[in-house]
Amino acid sequence: MAASKKSVAPVESTTTWSGRFDEPVSELVQRYTASVDFDRRLADYDIRGSLAHARMLAARGIIGPDDLAAIELGLGRIQEEIHNGDFVWRLELEDVHLNIERRLTTLIGDAGKRLHTARSRNDQVATDVRLYLRASIDNIIGLIHAMQHALLDLAEKHVDTVMPGFTHLQVAQPVVFGHHLMAYFEMLKRDAERLSDCRKRVNKLPLGAAALAGTSYPIDRAMVARELDFDSVCENSLDAVSDRDFAIEFCAAAALVMTHLSRLSEELILWMSPSFGFIDLADRFCTGSSIMPQKKNPDVPELVRGKTGRINGHLVALLTLMKAQPLAYNKDNQEDKEPLFDTVDTLTDTLRIYADMLAGIRVNERAMRNTAMRGYATATDLADYLTKKGLPFREAHEAVAQAVRFAEKNRRDLSALTLPELQQFSPLIADDIFAMLTLDGSINSRNHVGGTAPPQVSAAIGRAREWLSSSSTPTVP
Ligand code: ARG
C-alpha cells in the first residue's frame, strides 16, 4: 500500500461534490478521507460494474445508445491506461470510483456524466467489493485444494510410518504419520466448504439500492445481476448499501484457515527441532542465524503462526467497525477495505507457500519410531487386553500404571519386559500379550473408519481424492 501512494498525483482543489461547500477541505482532511491509495485495486471490478449498469440504463431507455457506445469505449480505454500504468490517480478525487468517472468525462464528455444516473457510490462500492471478494474466494478455494493435494501425496507415502500420537504433548498412543496428516486434510475440507458457503452470501447484487432508498428510474436489477454473474439481488436497499456481513464471514473463515495452518506450523517447528528430529524442511523455507552457525530456523512456519494473529485482528477490526452502526451507509464502511484486502493477500500467499513447503518435507522415520518406543505408547493396549480378559477397566488401568512404573525404573519398554515380570501385575497376562505391545500391533488393531490402521488410512486417502476431484472450483472471473 505504501508503494501505491507514490503514484497518486498531488492535491488539487476541485472535488466532484464541492458545489454545496463554501471552502475546500484542508489537505490533511483530504488525505484522511481519501481511499484511492488502497481502493484503486478495485478498478477492474468498478469498470465491470459500470459497464453492466450502463448497459442496463441503455436497455431501459434511461441513456441513449450513443451514450452507451461512448461509455463502453471510454471505460475500455481507462482499463488499458490502468493496466499500462498510465492512469493518473488523483487524491482530491477521493476514491477509485470518482477517479474513473472523472477520467471518463474528460475522455467522452457528457455521456460520462450520465453514467452515474440511478446509482450512488454506496451501492457501487458494495458491488465492487463483492465482485472482488467472489474472485478472491474462488482463487483461495483453488489454493486450499492444491494444499490438500500436497497433504495427500505426503500422507500416501506414510501410511506405514509409525510416529507417536500426542495428548498434552506427551507420547500417548502410536499412530501412522499419514493418519496425522489426514487430520489436516479434514480441517482444510471444512475450510473449503465454509468458504463456498460464504460465497453464496457474497454473490448477491447491491446495485440498484442507489444511496439508500432505491431510485426513481425504471431500472432492471435482474439484468445487471445476470450480466455480473450474481445469483440474485440484495432484497432491501438499506441493507444492500450497509451490509458487510459477507466480508466479516469471509474473514472469520480465513481466520479458521490460518488457525489450522498455525497448528500445523507449530507441529512442523517442533518436529524440526533437534529434540524431536522427526522432519526436515527444505532449505528454501528456512534461514540461518547470523551468530550461531549450527542453526537452521523454520522461518516460514513461524511466520505463518505469527500472521495468524494479524488475520484474527482483521476479523475483530471488521466486527468492531460494524458494531452499532446505524442504517444505512456510513463512511466508517470505507475502513472495511484494508483489513479485507490484507486478509486475502496474507491467506493467498500463505496457502501458496504451504503447498510447496509440504512437498519438500523430509521425514526421519527412525526418529519417529524411536520416540514412540520410548513413551510407553502401548500402555493403553495392555489395559485394553486385560479388560478384554474380564478385568474392569479401572483396575486394568491401575495394573498397567504399575507395570509402566516398573519398566521406567528398569529403563525398558513394556514390550521388553519378560512374561513373568509382566505377570506380577496381573495373572491374566499370557504369551499373546506381546503381539499387542508392539507399536505395529497397536496400530493395526485400530482398524475401523477414522482409526489409524494403515488400511483405514489408505481408504481415507482414497475417499479424500474422490472428494477433491468432485469438488470443482467455481470459475467466475
Ligand atoms: N470510498 C467510499 C467507500 O469506500 C465510497 C462510498 C462513498 N460514499 C459516500 N456517500 N461518501 O465506502
Distance CA(354)–CA(264), nearest Å, equals 10
| Ligand 1 atom 10: residue of nearest CA | 122
Distance CA(379)–CA(382), nearest Å, equals 5
- In sign, the C-alpha dihedral spanning 412, 414, 416, 418 is positive
Given a cut of 70, whether residue 193 has pLDDT beyond it is: yes
Grid cell, residue 405, equals 512404573
Q: Is 122 in the pocket of ligand 1 (CB under 6 A)?
A: yes
330 CA to centre of ligand 1 in angstroms: 8
Distance CA(468)–CA(173), nearest Å, equals 30
Q: Are strands 170-176 and 8-9 parallel, antiparallel or unpaired?
A: unpaired
**Which ranges constitute the DSSP H helices of 109-176?**
110-114, 121-157
* Alpha-carbon radius of gyration of the chain: 30
Distance CA(416)–CA(116), nearest Å, equals 82
- Tell me which H or E stretch contains 382: helix 379-388
Residue 10 pLDDT level (bands cut at 50, 70, 90): low
Distance CA(99)–CA(117), nearest Å, equals 17
pLDDT given for residue 14 in this prediction: 59
Grid cell, residue 415, equals 514390550
Q: Is 50 in the pocket of ligand 1 (CB under 6 A)?
A: no
Domains and their CATH numbers in the chain? 24-114 (1.10.275.10), 121-369 (1.20.200.10), 374-460 (1.10.40.30)
Ligand 1 atom with least separation from CA of 329: 10
Given a cut of 50, whether residue 384 has pLDDT beyond it is: yes
Task: Give the closest residue to 75 by CA, choosing from 41, 35, 106.
Answer: 106
Distance CA(134)–CA(231), nearest Å, equals 12
Average pLDDT over residues 329-350: 98
pLDDT given for residue 15 in this prediction: 66
243 CA to centre of ligand 1 in angstroms: 13
Distance CA(278)–CA(286), nearest Å, equals 16
| Three-class secondary structure of residue 182 per DSSP | helix
33 CA to centre of ligand 1 in angstroms: 10
Contacts of 90 (CB under 8 A, 6+ apart): 8, 9, 12, 36, 99, 102
Grid cell, residue 348, equals 493467498
Q: Is 237 in the pocket of ligand 1 (CB under 6 A)?
A: no
Q: Is 333 in the pocket of ligand 1 (CB under 6 A)?
A: yes
Residue 472 pLDDT level (bands cut at 50, 70, 90): low
pLDDT given for residue 6 in this prediction: 45
pLDDT digits (tens, 9 = 90+) for 54-67: 999 999 999 999 99
Task: Give the closest residue to 305 by CA, choosing from 345, 355, 273, 262.
Answer: 262
pLDDT digits (tens, 9 = 90+) for 414-437: 989 999 999 999 999 999 998 888
pLDDT given for residue 89 in this prediction: 98
pLDDT given for residue 7 in this prediction: 58
pLDDT given for residue 174 in this prediction: 97
Q: In terms of C-beta density within 10 A (0-12 exposed, 13-18 middle, 19 or more buried), how is residue 471 classed?
A: middle
pLDDT digits (tens, 9 = 90+) for 275-311: 999 999 998 888 887 777 787 899 999 999 999 999 9
**pTM of the predicted structure, to 2 decimals:** 0.93
149, 468 in Cβ contact below 8 A? yes
Given a cut of 50, whether residue 5 has pLDDT beyond it is: no
Mark whether 168 is an active-site residue.
yes
Average pLDDT over residues 171-195: 98
Mark whether 397 is an active-site residue.
no
pLDDT given for residue 285 in this prediction: 86
pLDDT given for residue 277 in this prediction: 97
Q: In terms of C-beta density within 10 A (0-12 exposed, 13-18 middle, 19 or more buried), how is residue 262 classed?
A: buried
Phi and psi, residue 8, nearest 5°: -85, 130
Q: What is the DSSP letter of 130?
A: H
Distance CA(194)–CA(249), nearest Å, equals 9
How much of the chain exceeds pLDDT 70, in percent?
96
Average pLDDT over residues 20-27: 86
Given a cut of 70, whether residue 476 has pLDDT beyond it is: no
Q: Is 355 in the pocket of ligand 1 (CB under 6 A)?
A: no
| Residue among 7, 273, 289, 472 flagged as catalytic | 289
| Three-class secondary structure of residue 287 per DSSP | strand
15 CA to centre of ligand 1 in angstroms: 14
Task: Give the closest residue to 220 by CA, choosing from 436, 50, 443, 52.
Answer: 52
Distance CA(244)–CA(374), nearest Å, equals 53
Q: Chain-wide mean pLDDT for the chain?
A: 94
Other CB atoms within 10 A of residue 452 CB: 27
113, 105 in Cβ contact below 8 A? yes
Given a cut of 50, whether residue 2 has pLDDT beyond it is: no
- Which residues are bridge partners to 232 per DSSP? 204
pLDDT given for residue 3 in this prediction: 39
pLDDT digits (tens, 9 = 90+) for 205-261: 999 999 999 999 999 999 999 999 999 999 999 999 999 999 999 999 999 999 999
Distance CA(133)–CA(131), nearest Å, equals 6
Task: Give the closest residue to 255 by CA, choosing from 191, 203, 299.
Answer: 191
Phi and psi, residue 356, nearest 5°: -65, -40
Average pLDDT over residues 177-187: 98
Other CB atoms within 10 A of residue 330 CB: 15
Phi and psi, residue 287, nearest 5°: -130, 165
What is the number of alpha carbons within 13 Å of residue 321 lying toward its C-beta?
Answer: 24
Residue 370 pLDDT level (bands cut at 50, 70, 90): very high
Out of 124-138, 314-328, 463-477, least confident range: 463-477
pLDDT given for residue 20 in this prediction: 79
Instruction: Name which residue leads in pLDDT, 475 or 46.
Output: 46
pLDDT digits (tens, 9 = 90+) for 83-119: 999 999 999 999 999 999 999 999 999 999 999 999 9
Distance CA(436)–CA(429), nearest Å, equals 11
Q: In terms of C-beta density within 10 A (0-12 exposed, 13-18 middle, 19 or more buried), how is residue 96 classed?
A: buried
